[in-house]
Amino acid sequence: MRIISYNVRYFGHALKGLASTAKAKSRIAKAICGLDPQADIVCLQEVEHGSIRSGVAHRGAARGDTQLDAFMRHLDGAFHEAGRVQPYRAFYYPAHVYGLGRVKLYTTGLAILINARTLHVVGHNQNEPKSVTSYGQAPVKAIKQTRIVAHLHLETSRGKRLHVFNTHLSLPSPFRREFWKKGRRFGHGPNQLEEARTAAEYIASCCRHEPYLLCGDFNSGPTSPVYTYLTREVGMRGAQEVLGQLNPEAPEAFPTAGFLRMRMHLDHLFAGNGLEWMDLEGTCAFDDPKSPFFGLSDHVPLIANFTLG
């Protein structure tokens, strides 16, 4: 089976994240449609529900549209243009709302798309996503963005079951002393490690012995305490590490995100309970112009094939 994990930056990369655009949705939809083989699971980070930011620059959007609704229409169009039927069923997981009164300035959330031809949904936490937010010091709580873990329990056409978890962890907190020390910061924040622990405990409570995938934007490097905890202590298998796409001596040599001239490896695919990685066909580094996703977000997608064993 095949999975994509992609931080789409609210489909607003063309406007530096200030507002989403129809063109961005269309280009990302065409890139996903153009994958061969087609993905069975698509996990998206930084997807809005509905707000001023998600609609102000998207002319022609239907009234009451969510950002995911609009994206799915573009995905329908991309498949129709390719002469195929769009196979995905979409789930949205709201995380946080920033607003003034009833006016939503912008919202945050996650989405998971599953290929309905190959997967059946057994259960989900769409109505109540698991909060893993580390609030830290009390003064931060009023402005701290909620972080969640989205979950789908799935069954394949052959009757095998698996779990899919999608997340977007916090940045290291600037209110902690460690943030101001020199050296690497991504994945070194105590708040990030606390969120990773909460996520791992939640995953264990859901899965028991069934295989699972955990993917997302972890805002953490491959040698950080967060990555080390998930792989060495919990026992998750990082796809890029297992398949040799990471160089332990130069862990940032394969960037998955960029900001100005900075290049960072912040996105990961993890597996557990017998799920095995096969290859990373289609996964490209951030600056690789050969990728069909080049320039569409401040992240690039991780794409991997796996087997349930």
Query: pLDDT (tens digit, 9 = 90+) per residue, 50-66?
Result: 644 445 444 555 555 78
Q: Is the dihedral of CA 107, 110, 115, 116 positive or negative?
A: negative
CB 307 within 8 A of CB 22: no
C-alpha to C-alpha distance for 194 and 271, rounded to whole angstroms: 20
Mean pLDDT along residues 261-287: 95
Q: At 205, list the tokens.
A: 């409570």
Residues of the chain with pLDDT > 90, as a percent, come to: 69
Q: Which of helix, strand or coil describes residue 108? A: strand
**Confidence tier at 209 by pLDDT (50, 70, 90):** very high
The residue among 84, 80, 58, 57 whose CA lies nearest residue 71 is 58
CB 226 within 8 A of CB 196: yes
- 82-136 pLDDT, tens per residue? 999 999 999 999 987 666 566 556 678 999 999 999 999 999 999 999 999 998 6
Q: What is the pLDDT of residue 50?
A: 60
Question: Between residues 188 and 152, which one has the greater pLDDT?
Answer: 152
Mean pLDDT along residues 281-295: 96
Supply the range of the domain harboring residue 145. 2-307
**Confidence tier at 186 by pLDDT (50, 70, 90):** confident
The residue among 245, 258, 247 whose CA lies nearest residue 293 is 258
- 138-185 pLDDT, tens per residue? 455 656 788 999 999 999 999 999 999 999 999 987 555 555 455 567
pLDDT for residue 2 is more than 80: yes
How many independent structural domains does the chain possess?
1
pTM: 0.90
CATH number of the domain that residue 129 is part of: 3.60.10.10
